Amino acid sequence: MTTGSTGRRSPFASAAIYLAAAAIALYSAFPIYWMISSSLRPTQEMLTAPSLVPSRLTLQYYYSLLAQTDYPQQFLNSLVVALATVAITMVLSVMIAYGVTRQRIRGKKAIVAGMLYAYMFPPLLLAIPLYTMFALVGLNDTLLSLVISHLTMTMPLGVWFLWGFFKAMPFELEEAAMVDGCTRLGAFLRVVLPLSVPGLVTVAIFAFLLSWTDYTFALVMIGSDANKTVPLGLASMIGAFDLRWGDIMAGSTLIALPLFAAFVMLSRYFVQGLTAGAVKG
């Protein structure tokens, strides 16, 4: 497979690797392509004789989705919930992860392990008791209840990831900053946080992704149409006798746009964060 003197791959091995990568990329991208193309093809073509490439493009599904449904309000609700979840996750995860790596806390490994263990519970197992608690304090059917519910998914992941990130960061960097006159907080803000940007971006993307695409918690927590998020709103379009595939595909495409934009703009930090977390954690 490789030459003994140079360690280079043979042409056959390189071609096989590229072919496998192309096959995986095609397999992963085709559902996304089919979703987008289905949202742009006429109804008759979609239901009777769908082709790989639409014969004619139309925006009728997007017009009907935005003008005749509550999708704009649902999109806004999802955006508010996701951004609030990301902000709270970032603040609390940084505080907890930095505390357990820099302070002498008894059982800190058990704390991190316990949070990671809590992340392994399926959302539906947590949704019912959480809804009962929210109903007792009057927070049921509110966006705040949804944000708190999403934190049960994003917080353990954020703490665990940043814990490994901060743990591998030499404390001598902060000591040097404090010797130069910085306080502990100043050293954290001026040294630790700038060096942690890839990890912070990775946690933010994961938190946004988990919150933006959540359906289970929204199904249990939200009952009114005014507070529905996009996944819950799209699911309500699927009826026993009325299946609006075009609107569903258009709505799914619009859901994917913020995620696609985030990955495109932050992909460099995201890859660095995943690599650092895998090596340093």
Q: What is the pLDDT along the chain (281 residues), one digit of tens a residue?
A: 444 445 566 778 788 888 998 999 899 889 888 888 888 888 777 777 777 888 788 888 898 888 878 889 999 999 999 999 999 999 999 988 888 887 777 777 777 777 777 777 788 888 889 999 999 998 889 999 999 999 988 988 888 888 877 887 777 777 787 777 777 778 877 888 888 888 888 888 889 989 998 999 999 999 888 899 999 888 887 764 566 788 888 888 888 888 788 777 766 665 655 555 444 44
Q: Which residues contact 72 (CB under 8 A, 6 or more apart)?
A: 66
CATH of domain 69-280: 1.10.3720.10
What is the structure's pLDDT at 5? 47
What is the structure's pLDDT at 132? 92
What is the structure's pLDDT at 271? 60
What are the CA-CA distances from residue 209 to residues 23, 153, 180, 260 (Å)? 25, 11, 40, 11
What is the structure's pLDDT at 120? 77
**CA angle, corner 31, sides to 25 and 37, nearest 5?**
115
Residue ranges, comma separated, of all CATH 1.10.3720.10 domains in the chain are 69-280
The CA distance from 279 to 266, in Å, is 20
The CA distance from 198 to 106, in Å, is 29
> Nearest 5°: phi and psi at 238?
-90, 105
